[in-house]
Amino acid sequence: MKDLAGKHIVLGLTGGIACYKSAELCRLMIKAGATVQVVMTAAAEHFMTAVSMQALSQRPVALSQWDAREANNMAHINLSRAADACLIAPCSADFIAKLAQGQSDDLLSLMCLARPVDQVPLLLAPAMNREMWAHPATQRNLAQVAADGAVVLGVGVGEQACGETGDGRMLEPHELLDDLIAFFQPKVLAGQRVLITAGPTYEAIDPVRGITNLSSGKMGFAIARAAREAGADVTLVAGPVSLPTPRGVQRIDVRSASNMLSAVTLHAPEARVFIATAAVADWRPDVASEQKIKKDGSGQTPALRFVENPDILATLAQSARARSGDLYCVGFAAESHDLLANAQAKRLRKGVPLLVGNIGPATFGQDDNALLLVEEQGTEEFARDSKLALARRLIASIADRIRD
């Protein structure tokens, strides 16, 4: 997806070993559809060459406020006026101090000071030693630049170039890309708490066998990302899947339907929206064997007795908060046929205002999907698209509904 199509980003590099990550960040932003203008400080040139950044950005790198190539010799004005955002990555402790004090003794700091603050947002990706990060002066300067309108992104935790371990690493390029994309998304769920389930559940037969399904969790994870991009505080309760947690999302891993019900019951009182995308097993073995069930050579299959699992969606939909309208419940139906009829019946059976249907075999494990939104007033089709694009449309629709 070209999530940054039409966006022009000024990428500022200050002095720090994390400049090597900026090369990959530049490449990822361009791959996402952005145009990128690189501006480097003199300190940054000790860690990354302007030639490398020019090759990646396909634009001459801006290095000095006295660059005679600018017709009006005002690079600090021209660069910022053309930008949709300025991202400083890495942003050193020294540069943060400059911003806090309004100093402007090089092109990058001058451009940050001269930019129209209400039109060109400034995003900072700090990078420094753990002691520098924790120093009261750095924290005081970060608070000041944030108060002045800059968006201070987080830092990573781990091994540092100096050999120490702790906070202060610059976030990885893919994390910064996700943060930048999220920054431009409409904040239609700002201040709301959203609870989401995703993936399959696993019901044990014995220690090595169980009942599950083909759900990959991709749709639910995309919805969690979209909700977070929309400004929500998101809790994702995930069945057994191998997917990376979306940026900024609290993830709770569970295994069985009972585990999932316990997790959502715990977090539902804080939520405004509950979206049940998980493909929860309808039944489980009455008793799971403590030892592996062995074949005995008789040709007889073991006798398994099943019991019905708790209905997570119906349980939350029937709660007092849902009945009062304080919890908006959205269900998902993965059908194999007769999508409209089955989705309508499931919506009524579960007692939810909105049911989202899809054809499971056509979407399990895939990166795209097609959705059918079913509510009392009628239906709406979302044509096949990437799961993230559909998730963003769905989140926008849910935001409209809870505002009404």
Q: So what's the pLDDT on residue 299?
A: 82
Determine how many CB atoms are found less than 10 A away from the CB of residue 92: 23
Residue-wise pLDDT for 306-334, tens only, equals: 999 999 999 999 998 888 889 999 999 98
Q: Closest Cα to residue 12, out of 135, 99, 70?
A: 99
Range of the domain at 24: 8-184
CATH label of the domain that carries residue 135:
3.40.50.1950
Q: In this model, does residue 116 exceed pLDDT 90?
A: yes
- E strand map for 239-350: 250-253, 273-276, 283-285, 306-308, 328-335
Give domain status of residue 1, yes or no: no
The count of structural domains within the chain is 2
Q: What kind and span of H or E run contains 56?
A: helix 50-57
Q: Cβ-count burial of 149 within 10 angstroms (0-12 exposed, 13-18 middle, 19+ buried)?
A: exposed
Q: Of 19, 86, 162, 329, which is the active-site residue?
A: 162
pLDDT tens for residues 324-364?
889 999 999 988 888 889 999 999 999 999 999 988 878 88
- CA–CA dist 313, 331 (Å, integer): 7
Instruction: Say how far apart CA 184 and CA 354 lie, in whole Å.
Output: 27
Out of 67-81, 83-97, 115-129, 285-299, which region has the weakest mean confidence (pLDDT)?
67-81
Q: Is 91 known to be catalytic?
A: no
Of 184, 214, 236, the last residue of a domain is 184
pLDDT digits (tens, 9 = 90+) for 277-312: 999 999 999 999 999 988 888 888 888 899 999 999
* Total-model pTM: 0.92
Shared domain check, 84 and 213: no
Contacts of residue 234, defined as CB under 8 A and 6 or more positions apart, other chains included, come to: 193, 194, 195, 196, 224, 227, 228, 246, 248, 249, 250
Q: Which of 157, 184, 211 is the last residue of a domain?
A: 184
| Each residue's pLDDT tens digit, 43-74 | 999 999 999 999 999 999 999 988 877 778 78
Average model confidence (pLDDT) for the chain?
94
